[in-house]
Amino acid sequence: MSDALTLQARALAESASRDLHEASGEAELARVKSSYLGKGGSISALLKQIPTLDPEQRRGAGSAINEAKKKVEALFVERRAAIKDEALGASAGHVDVTLPGRLDWQGHEHPVTRAWNEITDIFVSMGFTIAEGPEVETDWHCFTALNIPPGHPAREMQDTFYVDDNVVLRTHTSPVQVRTMLHNDPPLRVICPGVVYRRDNDITHTPMFHQVEGLVVDQGTTMAELRGTLAAFARAFFGPKTKVRFRPSYFPFTEPSAEVDVSCPFCEDRTIGCRVCKDTRWLEVLGSGMVDPAVFDQIDRPEYDSRVVQGFAFGMGIDRMAMLKYGIGDLRLLFENDQRLLEQF
Ligand code: PHE
């Protein structure tokens, strides 16, 4: 009887070892283990028979069965570790499609770039083409050709960075008008966006900023066209309800000249305490006027005979337009590249 139990215990240990090796997952492994060692397991059943043996037979059979039990337990632990390792190894190098996605950080346009693109898009849709010119300009292109001769008091309107006596960092994009007329015949409809420089630095001025210049030259061009063009632009940029107001002004290169105001887009409902327009309800956004014949006379080309062609020109600060449209209170913020500001656009 005891020999029979010993033999059975060894046979069970062997078949358990086979079954545990074949088990292909942790759950199956646990099932195999419990079919030998669990309450109704086959090795447990052998253990229950020990009390029925003669006392002198118990020792031999008992130790054989215990050995079988230990062997199965040890093998179970070993196999469980191996199965875990296999699972890890299998997932290395594979994409776990159940993990939540990692979102890429998305860049976007700087508010000035955005305003630049919006402004140029509006004029392009009206039939304007884009022209650009150098940021380092000759004195002649920047001033003289624009009816601001040396010694003219108007030169003091712009605090200029001089490279030398005859070369400046352009203080406005108007010299691109001059360059365009020197190289192209009328009729002209161009806008000239670009970087400009002035010796100025406070809450509404930075030494470097951006302007868009517009120039139309044709026969029979009138102030009415200037007004219509700028009003259409203002409505496209600030919204269809925008009102436009023209105030007489002075620029050396236009005559007559007008400053253009738009109704404040931030206080349509007449709230008081508007920090953008300071309750004036109007925002000054553009300089404009009919091209002064003296400017055409500087362009030494018969196509620009001031008795034959007329034109209008306008200019605006792109940064200021961005501040007004996006409600930014300090111009300098635009050039500090602070993520906390830029992220909001
Ligand atoms: N160039 C002018 C400035 O910088 C703006 C302007 C352009 C005014 C064209 C009238 C016509 O202030």
Poorest-pLDDT segment among 66-70, 147-151, 340-344: 340-344
Measured CA to CA, the distance from residue 39 to residue 198 in angstroms comes to 92
Q: Collect all residues with Cβ–Cβ distance below 8 Å to 289 and sequence separation of at least 6.
A: 226, 249, 251, 253, 254, 255, 256, 257, 258, 312, 313, 314
| Ligand 1 binding pocket mutation candidate from 174, 177, 200 (most atoms within 8 A of CB) | 174
Q: Which of 72, 70, 92, 84 is nearest to 26 (CA)?
A: 84
Q: How confident is the model at residue 108 (pLDDT cuts 50, 70, 90)?
A: confident
CA dihedral 83, 88, 89, 92 (to 10 degrees): 160
Measured CA to CA, the distance from residue 231 to residue 258 in angstroms comes to 13
- Mean pLDDT, residues 10-29 taken together: 88
Q: How confident is the model at residue 267 (pLDDT cuts 50, 70, 90)?
A: confident
Poorest-pLDDT segment among 89-93, 201-205, 287-291: 89-93
Measured CA to CA, the distance from residue 123 to residue 258 in angstroms comes to 19
Q: Identify the helix (H) or strand (E) that includes residue 255.
A: strand 254-263
| pLDDT at 183 > cutoff 90 | yes
From the CA of 315, give the closest atom in ligand 1.
Answer: 7
Side by side, the strands of the sheet bearing 162-164 are: 136-138, 167-169, 162-164
With a 6 A CB cut-off, is 214 part of the ligand 1 pocket?
no
| Ligand 1 binding pocket mutation candidate from 143, 253, 257, 312 (most atoms within 8 A of CB) | 253
Structure tokens given for 85: 């390792």
With a 6 A CB cut-off, is 196 part of the ligand 1 pocket?
no
With a 6 A CB cut-off, is 198 part of the ligand 1 pocket?
no
With a 6 A CB cut-off, is 131 part of the ligand 1 pocket?
no
- In eight-state DSSP terms, residue 302 is G
What is the whole-number distance in angstroms between the Cα of residue 268 and the centre of ligand 1? 28
Q: How confident is the model at residue 272 (pLDDT cuts 50, 70, 90)?
A: confident
What is the whole-number distance in angstroms between the Cα of residue 264 and the centre of ligand 1? 21
Q: Identify the helix (H) or strand (E) that includes residue 189.
A: strand 188-197
Measured CA distances, 345 to 208, 322, 325, 326, 341 (Å): 22, 11, 12, 9, 8
Provide the H-helix boundaries in 262-329: 293-298, 318-326
Closest residue to atom 10 of ligand 1, CA basis: 288
Closest residue to atom 3 of ligand 1, CA basis: 172
pLDDT digits (tens, 9 = 90+) for 44-73: 888 888 888 888 888 888 888 889 899 989
Whole-number pLDDT of residue 268: 66
316 close to 244: Cβ distance less than 8 angstroms? no
Whole-number pLDDT of residue 182: 97
| pLDDT at 94 > cutoff 80 | no
Measured CA to CA, the distance from residue 223 to residue 167 in angstroms comes to 33
Q: Collect all residues with Cβ–Cβ distance below 8 Å to 271 and sequence separation of at least 6.
A: none
- Asked whether the CA dihedral 275, 278, 281, 286 is positive or negative, the reply is negative
With a 6 A CB cut-off, is 314 part of the ligand 1 pocket?
yes
- The percent of residues in the chain predicted with pLDDT above 90, rounded, is 51
Measured CA to CA, the distance from residue 12 to residue 86 in angstroms comes to 27
Q: Which of 190, 198, 243 is nearest to 218 (CA)?
A: 190
With a 6 A CB cut-off, is 317 part of the ligand 1 pocket?
no
- The percent of residues in the chain predicted with pLDDT above 70, rounded, is 96
According to DSSP, the residues that pair with 251 across neighbouring strands are 254
Q: Choose from 88-97, 237-246, 265-274 the range with maximum mean pLDDT.
A: 237-246
With a 6 A CB cut-off, is 315 part of the ligand 1 pocket?
yes
Closest residue to atom 8 of ligand 1, CA basis: 287
Closest residue to atom 5 of ligand 1, CA basis: 315
8 close to 53: Cβ distance less than 8 angstroms? no
